Amino acid sequence: MTIDIPALLVSAILLAGLYATMSYGLALIYGVMKIVNLAHAGVMMWAAYVAFVLIVEAGLNPFLAPLIALPVFFVLGMFIQRYFVSRVMYAPIVSSLLLLFGIWLIMQNVSYLVFTGDTRAITTTYTLMTFQVFGIAISINRLVVFCVGILALLVMRQFMGRTYMGKAIRATAQDGDASKLVGINTDRVMEVAFGLGTALAGLAGSLMALIFAFDPDFGRSHLLKSFCIVVLGGLESMVGVALGALVLAVAEALSVLWIMPALQDFVSFALLVIVLVVMPGGMVGLLAKFKKT
Amino acid sequence: MQVGELLRSWKTWISLGLIIFLLLVPFLGIGGGYLQTLGFLTFLFVTLSTAWNILGGYTGQISFGHASFYGLGAYTTSILALRGINPLMTMPLAGVIAALFGLLWGYPCLRLRGQYFAIATIGVGEATRLLMLNLDDLIKDIPLLKDALQDGVLTGGATGLMLPTPEDIGSYAMAFYYGAMGMMFAGLVVSWWVKNSKFGLGLFAINMDIDAAETVGVNTVYYKNLALMLSGFMVGISGSIYAQYMFYIDPQTVFGFPMSIGMVLMPTIGGSGTLVGPILGAVVYIVVQDRILTANIEIGTFKLSLSTLHLLVYGGLLVVIVLFEPKGILGLQKRLTRRWAKRGVEVAPPRKMA
């Protein structure tokens, strides 16, 4: 079996854009609230179904669907934060973890009820289209997904750097109490941050639906990948997340050379453990660094 | 507590009556052995719940990957039994393998704190399941490892493994009823011992504030790993018993995510971090699973099989518990007693310190 390594790398880089989008949502929520959003997986799965309904049932243009998903999931995220997560903000960490886990389970069950457990896939006219650059076949589908993901991150970057709310989010991530002292409405900031994180997960999920097949159990391995990326890249910056996404995507793509495709999901986990062993501080070390800056 | 005081407490008599009833269940023949099966499952789940509680409740390290221990225990026993070894003899090995596996992933992953550890355990569960699903294909070309295959089968992939059934299934099941009961009590004794030992104090300290625990001289890495291994050992043995009782295992059942979810839910429902909580939680969980989720509702043309709602029920339970009563049933009981006490209904006078 011959494997075309340049093509593999190109598709890995294209996938990394998507990975970065979904991981940044997780990192954003963690940064501001110091909780890991387990419902992230549920959001990505729901977004995939929203895309499915919009594209297959309603016949919308595949690349418009994510734009509709974005505000919907922003509102959903704010709702979850306001009515659920905010109540356990000051409780032990375990509480928020179990709470979001419960929400994830409920989301899964709703999907099972509405869409059954069948595996779905979205096939559009774009799905199989490719074009050639220097002899490398590039899927238009993946290229557009990549561009949308990167665009979303660039918009986020501008938002975080230039608007009041973006600066307030960054301030709250650095020091919640101090932000309160200087008059930032941190409750509001947290709602917006959770909404944005959820919206990014929603965007990523609806983009993923264009590439992968999905079922109600879909988000779990992607939650794991997001987590792996966040650990790899650190929580410090969007650049870190993007780098982490790139490392994971390339590692996954190249893993095809050594291990069977069925075990590809294994890679993200193995990578996670390796990083933890090689960097003895692990996440804690990164967090300490994060707090210093 | 003094012996005399123990005899006067109504709790002692109720527990004693319950134990005698449980011992007699196989002879009562209620529901044609149904109660016996339910009892077996309850004992099994109480053990699982108690085991998870040592890591998740006492130490505060939430694991979503405990199904990996359960599956490893079940597979160890099944694989060895298919190679002619008495399954009962494999039980300690099943526990030890699960515990060693715990050390293998616990050592790197327990460096992570709190919620990050929790997510890593989702990875452990997934990775183990995937690995076991594909193990046969994976090792069939590797020189040394392929000797482990028997007719090309080690874990049997998605098909799973089938064990031969004994001839006298009735007495076999009864023996396992008592076996599981013994295992449960052993598990509870371990949990009680941990709770009242220096080891347990260390675990509680880690749960409250890991930095402070380290400062006062708790070897947190050692303690956390030990708790994980102990927990894994108990779950591994439970898995082994399950495999012997069911005669059939497959990766989706024993390594499946629902198994891990169950182990998180049970102690949380009852009240995690306590001795009695996981027992209550496991009983509630079994009743919900066995009675409510098998029910079918039919109103006119509207039909609903509740088994399609099990994730909703579990998720809803988690949300409600976390939002309203994080200490589970035990917390609820305490709150209710306090409320009654306020109303001035009969309350026992405060006990004098001896």
Number of structural domains chain A divides into:
1
Q: Residue B57: what residue type? A: G
pLDDT one-digit tens code per residue, B289-310: 877 766 777 776 666 676 677 7
Residue B72 lies in a domain: yes
Tokens 């990766």, residue?
A: B251
Q: Between chains, do B318 and A102 touch, taking CB under 8 Å as contact?
A: yes
Q: Between chains, do B134 and A262 touch, taking CB under 8 Å as contact?
A: yes
Q: Between chains, do A84 and B114 touch, taking CB under 8 Å as contact?
A: no
Residue A283's pLDDT band, with cuts at 50, 70 and 90, is: very low
Check pLDDT > 70 for residue A286.
no
Instruction: Calculate how close chain A gets to B92, using CA atoms only, in Å.
Output: 28
Q: Write the burial class of residue A136 (CB in 10 Å: 0-12 exposed, 13-18 middle, 19+ buried).
A: middle
Report the pLDDT value the prediction gives residue A277, as an integer from 0 to 100. 63
In order, the DSSP letters of B36-68 are HHHHHHHHHHHHHHHHHHIIIIIS----S-THH
Report the pLDDT value the prediction gives residue A292, as an integer from 0 to 100. 55
Which residues of chain A make contact with B112, given a CB cutoff of 8 A?
276, 282-284
**Is the Cβ of A85 closer than 8 Å to some Cβ of chain B?**
no
Q: Between chains, do A270 and B127 touch, taking CB under 8 Å as contact?
A: yes
Residue A282's pLDDT band, with cuts at 50, 70 and 90, is: very low
Is residue A38 within 8 A of residue A96, CB to CB? The reply is: no
The percent of residues in chain B predicted with pLDDT above 70, rounded, is 87
Check pLDDT > 80 for residue B143.
no
Helices (H), chain A: 5-33, 39-52, 65-83, 93-115, 140-162, 164-174, 176-181, 186-211, 219-233, 238-255, 264-278, 282-292
Report the pLDDT value the prediction gives residue B235, as an integer from 0 to 100. 94
Residue B296 lies in a domain: no
**Is the Cβ of A277 closer than 8 Å to some Cβ of chain B?**
yes
Residue B351 lies in a domain: no
Residue A228 lies in a domain: no
pLDDT one-digit tens code per residue, A230-264: 877 766 567 778 888 888 888 888 887 777 777 77
Check pLDDT > 80 for residue A130.
no
Tokens 């220097």, residue?
A: A134
Which residues of chain B make contact with A262, given a CB cutoff of 8 A?
130, 133-134, 137
For residue B272, what are the contacts with CB-CB under 8 A and spacing of at least 6? Answer: B53, B56, B57, B278, B328
Report the pLDDT value the prediction gives residue A127, as an integer from 0 to 100. 67
Number of structural domains chain B divides into:
1
Residue A121, domain extent: 5-217
Report the pLDDT value the prediction gives residue B350, as an integer from 0 to 100. 59
Q: Cα–Cα distance between A228 and A23 in angstroms, integer? A: 9
Which residues of chain A make contact with B324, given a CB cutoff of 8 A?
none
Q: Between chains, do A227 and B118 touch, taking CB under 8 Å as contact?
A: no
Q: Between chains, do B311 and A112 touch, taking CB under 8 Å as contact?
A: yes
Residue B74 lies in a domain: yes
Best B309, B312, B314, B321 member to test A by mutation, with max A CBs in 10 Å, is B312
Residue B61, domain extent: 30-287
Residue A256 lies in a domain: no
Best A224, A269, A290 member to test B by mutation, with max B CBs in 10 Å, is A269
Check pLDDT > 80 for residue A100.
yes
Residue B326 lies in a domain: no
Instruction: Calculate how close chain A gets to B2, using CA atoms only, in Å.
Output: 36
Residue B187's pLDDT band, with cuts at 50, 70 and 90, is: very high
Q: What is the mean pLDDT of residues A175-202?
A: 87
Best A34, A94, A265 member to test B by mutation, with max B CBs in 10 Å, is A94
Q: Cα–Cα distance between B165 and A16 in angstroms, integer? A: 51
Best A97, A258, A279, A290 member to test B by mutation, with max B CBs in 10 Å, is A97
Q: Between chains, do A269 and B126 touch, taking CB under 8 Å as contact?
A: yes
Tokens 């050379």, residue?
A: A257
Q: Between chains, do B115 and A102 touch, taking CB under 8 Å as contact?
A: no
Is residue A51 within 8 A of residue A69, CB to CB? The reply is: yes
Q: What is the mean pLDDT of residues B169-198?
A: 89
Q: Residue A34: what residue type? A: K
Q: Residue A163: what residue type? A: T
**B249, B251, B240, B238: which is closest to B129 by C-alpha?**
B251
Check pLDDT > 60 for residue A51.
yes
For residue A84, what are the contacts with CB-CB under 8 A and spacing of at least 6? Answer: A99, A103, B319, B323
Residue A284 lies in a domain: no
Check pLDDT > 60 for residue B1.
no
pTM (whole model) above 0.95: no
The percent of residues in chain A predicted with pLDDT above 90, rounded, is 2
Q: What is the mean pLDDT of residues A78-105?
A: 83
Higher pLDDT, B170 or B334: B334
CATH number for the domain spanning B203: value is 1.10.3470
Check pLDDT > 60 for residue B6.
yes
Nearest chain A residue to B318 by CA distance is A102
Residue A224 lies in a domain: no
Instruction: Calculate how close chain A gets to B313, using CA atoms only, in Å.
Output: 8
Q: Between chains, do A84 and B127 touch, taking CB under 8 Å as contact?
A: no
User: Comparing B145-159, B192-206, B214-228, which segment has the lowest mean pLDDT?
Assistant: B145-159
Q: Between chains, do B126 and A223 touch, taking CB under 8 Å as contact?
A: no
Q: Cα–Cα distance between B205 and B198 in angstroms, integer? A: 10
How many degrees, rounded to 5, is the angle at CA B117 between CA B113 and CA B123?
160
Check pLDDT > 80 for residue B337.
yes
Report the pLDDT value the prediction gives residue A84, as an integer from 0 to 100. 85
Q: Cα–Cα distance between B62 and B56 in angstroms, integer? A: 5
Q: Cα–Cα distance between B175 and B177 in angstroms, integer? A: 5
Report the pLDDT value the prediction gives residue A281, as an integer from 0 to 100. 45
Write down the mean pLDDT value for chain B: 83
Write down the mean pLDDT value for chain A: 80
Residue A29 lies in a domain: yes
Q: Between chains, do A84 and B122 touch, taking CB under 8 Å as contact?
A: no
Q: Between chains, do B133 and A262 touch, taking CB under 8 Å as contact?
A: yes
Q: Between chains, do B309 and A113 touch, taking CB under 8 Å as contact?
A: yes
Q: Cα–Cα distance between A181 and A172 in angstroms, integer? A: 11
Q: Which A-chain residues 136-175 have CB contacts (< 8 A) with chain B? A: none
Which residues of chain A make contact with B127, given a CB cutoff of 8 A?
265-266, 269-270
